[in-house]
Structure 1
Amino acid sequence: MIIFYSNDGGSPQRLDASRLRASEIQVIERTADGRWPDIREAAADGDINAMRVIAWVVKKRTEPALRFADFDPYEGELRARLDEREVRAFAEALFEKYRADPDTLADAFGELRDSAADPEKVDAVIAEVTAPKDPAPAEDQPSPASPSE
């Protein structure tokens, strides 16, 4: 998950929460009073408290003295987006689910682009996921035995 924080009207800060340490997850769980999987899902759904806590923990990497009470973004300043690993997982799941319905699949891939932190990389992931797979190599078959005399 990537959280974009735009507090100054300029370029949003990109806060990469795709890889958190166990200690960071523990701080998130204590601060948000929940379990990490639930908090991560809530942030992906746009829950402001979940995004705030995760963004705060990531910001503490470069600003260790930052207190939670001092990190109080306005509504609309935090946006959660999918990281590359999440994009791949969603693309694979969407392809498996909708491969027989190209129109629905195209719509779903469009929504995936809108949810990605790096929309320009989504098309490459989609191309990889939807590319025809090589069939499994045929096992070497023994050649027919020649008739013995």
Structure 2
Amino acid sequence: MIVTYEQPDGTVEQVSTEDLSAIESADIEEAMGDTPWRQVEDLLRGQDPTAMRAVLWAARRREQPGLAFRDFDVPGWRRRLRARIERAEIDEVLANLMAEALGSGEDSAIDAMLPHLRKLAHDEADVNAAVEVVGKGHLVKATASEG
């Protein structure tokens, strides 16, 4: 996941959860009341402000080691803060969908998930590229011709 915060001056701060250390991830879990990492990821996908704030906080502590979570705020979070999935997560979702689609011989599960993946993706082109890689590029082309 990539958590993005647009500063009041217009600069953008981005933190990828892939770049967090194990200690930083554990600190996030602890700051969120011992929430397991898998649940933190689910909360990020749901745009939970506490989870997004916790990721930014962990990254900011690299520069400000004494920064306490309870004191860290993100003004204007509703319009300035968001979490988006990265290519590796898109690949994982498509791999799971491919297994289901191959079992049923249908593309409908993948086709139904594409709008959701595009909305959550940090870079929408990653969704199309991942679909092409798994051999379902015809679904991307069908969507493009409809729009």
Q: How would you bin the TM-score normalised by the shorter chain? A: 0.7 to 0.9
Please say if 1:5 is aligned against 2:10: no
TM-score w.r.t. the length of structure 2 is 0.74
1:112 aligns with 2:114: no
Provide the TM-score with structure 1 as the length reference: 0.74
The structure number with the bigger radius of gyration is: 1
Q: Is the 8 A contact 1:87 1:122 kept in 2?
A: yes
Identity, % of aligned pairs?
A: 25
In the TM superposition, residue 50 of structure 1 has moved relative to its aligned partner by: 1.1
Q: Is the 8 A contact 1:91 1:109 kept in 2?
A: no
Partner of 1:17: 17
CA RMSD of aligned residues (A): 2.4
Partner in structure 2 of residue 82 of structure 1: 85
How far did residue 114 of structure 1 move? 1.5
Residues 15, 59 of structure 1: 8 Å contact kept? no
> Could you tell me whether the CA contact under 8 Å between 2:5 and 2:14 is conserved in 1?
yes
1:1-149, aligned counterparts within 5 Å? 1-8=1-8, 10-34=10-34, 35-64=36-65, 66-68=67-69, 69-76=71-78, 77-98=80-101, 100-130=105-135
Number of aligned residue pairs: 132
Q: Deviations over 1:46-102 (max 9, x none)?
A: 111111111211233345454431433323222111112111101212233346444
Offset, 1:115: 0.8
Q: Which runs of 5+ in 2 are unaligned?
A: 138-147
Amino acid at match of 2:85: L
Distance of aligned partners of 1:79 and 1:110 in 2 relative to their CA distance in 1, 3 Å threshold: same
